């Protein structure tokens, strides 16, 4: 297991290298000159040339790439063209809100999806099951931004229970932090709740008539415990993969949600930097998101082995 973990960690390096090449190319091949944007349309060609030299934009692209890669290995992602701060610092300042948002929506997803799935399977012979199946389908097909707007209008404007925008760090009080995040986190979770509850329900319905479930019932174990222990733990295994994909999907979702709810997170930083053609920051953020994605995948694989004793990687 340890060996496997180390091997997987090492395999991250080539993946990240490929990602960085792609990121670099995408950003540098899109038209638009950052020097123009910084100095304004009607600045003199000399001034622009000077700034390009200062930013290293006049060097051949290959050189720019190798500079960038070299610096990454020393932990230096360059400087923001816009604010002149180091990119790592700019990213770190935005990590808190994004992670808070993701954690909260993941927690919401699991807290709602798991009991729902168990309950639906418990009442599997009633009208509840087809009702649930359609509901989860609707949940999974709702566009995030539309649902966000709806909630903002409903619970932020019409009945102003929740704040519609802004972010308060957890350091300024758990409750205000929670209060500001709950609405965006719920929007972000909405799609995933349906998906995960559905996966769990399918897995549990399959496990519910398996022989080992019969053995548990024949022991005299309570049906509720049979479902929560024997059936659930088996259904969790296939669901884990989906949960991994979900967490990664949340990362993408934050870009939209942070913009709608004006949360100063990584997603908003990415959008702002694209508007500003702030190459170093764009590259840094995409690289950072890719790294998180890869790490989450690794964690899911390890979790998989932990949940299913039949899987041994060595």
Partner 1 sequence: MLEVKQLKTQIDTNEGVVKAVDGVSFTVEAGQTVGIVGESGSGKSVLAHSIMQLNPVPPTFYPEGEIIFEGKNLLNLSERELRKIRGNEIAMIFQDPMSSLNPVFKIGDQLVEAVLTHQKMSRQDARARAVELLTDVGIPDPERRMNDYPHQFSGGMRQRVLIAIALACNPKLLIADEPTTALDVTIQAQILELMRDIQKKYGTAIIMITHDLGVVSQMADKVLVMYSGRIVEEGSVEDIFYRPSMPYTWSLLRSLPRLDAEAHERLINIEGQPPNLVSPPKGCNFHPRCPFSTEQCLEVDPELTVRGDGHFAACILSGQEFDSEKKRMEFADKKGVPQ
| Residue 112 CB, nearest approach to partner 1 (Å) | 24
- Contacts of range 60-69, beta carbons closer than 8 Å, 24 or more positions apart: 61/28, 64/24, 64/28, 65/21, 65/24, 68/20, 68/24, 68/283, 69/17, 69/20
The distance of Cα 112 from the centroid of its chain, to the nearest Å, equals 18
Taking the least distance from each CB to partner 1, the nearer of 146 and 212 is: 212
In the complex, least distance from residue 11 CB atom to partner 1, rounded to whole angstroms: 27
Exposure pattern of 93-123 as b/e (b: 16+ CB <10 Å)?
A: ebebbbebbbebbbebbbebbbebbbebbbe
Q: Give least dist CB 171 to partner 1, A.
A: 40
d(CA 18, CA 106): 29
Cβ neighbours around 172 below 10 Å, total: 9
Nearest to partner 1 of 33, 210 (CB atom):
210
Indicate the residue among 186 and 232 with the shorter CB distance to partner 1.
Answer: 232
Q: Are 203 and 211 in contact (CB under 8 A)?
A: no
Is the Cβ of residue 54 or residue 215 nearer to partner 1 in the bound state?
A: 215
> Would you say 120 or 269 has its CB closer to partner 1?
120
Least distance to partner 1, CB of residue 283, Å = 43
In the complex, the smallest distance separating the C-beta of residue 120 from partner 1, rounded to whole angstroms, is 16
Instruction: Give 15 or 128: the residue with its C-beta nearer to partner 1.
Output: 128
Judged by the rule CB under 8 A, the positions of this chain that interact with partner 1 are 125, 209-212, 214-223, 230, 233-234, 237, 307-310
Min CB(82)–partner 1 separation in Å: 52
CB 95 within 8 A of CB 167: no
Rounded Cα gap, residues 188 and 107, in angstroms: 11
């Amino acid at each position: 297991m340890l060996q496997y973990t180390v091997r997987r960690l090492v395999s991250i390096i080539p993946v990240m290298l490929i990602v960085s090449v792609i990121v670099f190319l995408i950003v540098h091949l899109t038209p638009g000159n950052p020097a123009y944007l910084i100095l304004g349309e009607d600045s003199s060609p000399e001034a622009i040339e000077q700034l390009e030299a200062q930013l290293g934009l006049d060097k051949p692209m290959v050189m720019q790439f190798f500079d960038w890669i070299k610096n990454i290995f020393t932990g230096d992602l360059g400087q923001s063209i816009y604010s002149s701060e180091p990119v790592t610092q700019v990213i770190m300042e935005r990590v808190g809100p994004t992670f808070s948002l993701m954690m909260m929506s993941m927690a919401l997803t699991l807290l709602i999806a798991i009991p729902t799935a168990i309950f639906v399977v418990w009442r599997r012979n009633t009208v509840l099951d087809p009702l649930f199946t359609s509901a989860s389908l609707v949940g999974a097909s709702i566009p995030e931004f539309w649902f966000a707007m709806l909630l903002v209008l409903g619970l932020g404007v019409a009945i102003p229970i929740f704040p519609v925008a802004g972010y308060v760090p957890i350091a300024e009080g758990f409750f205000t932090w929670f209060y500001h995040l709950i609405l965006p986190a719920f929007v972000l979770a909405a799609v995933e709740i349906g998906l995960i509850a559905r996966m769990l329900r399918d897995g549990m319905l399959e496990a519910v008539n398996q022989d080992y479930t019969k053995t548990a019932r024949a022991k005299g174990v309570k049906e509720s415990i049979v479902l929560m222990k024997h059936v659930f733990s088996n259904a969790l295994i296939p669901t884990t993969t989906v949960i991994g994909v979900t967490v990664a999907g949340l990362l993408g979702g934050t870009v939209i949600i942070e913009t709608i709810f004006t949360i100063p997170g990584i997603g908003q930083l990415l959008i702002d930097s694209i508007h500003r053609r702030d190459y170093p920051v764009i590259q840094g953020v995409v690289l950072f998101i890719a790294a998180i994605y890869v790490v989450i995948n690794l964690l899911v694989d390890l979790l998989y082995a932990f949940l299913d004793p039949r899987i041994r990687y060595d």
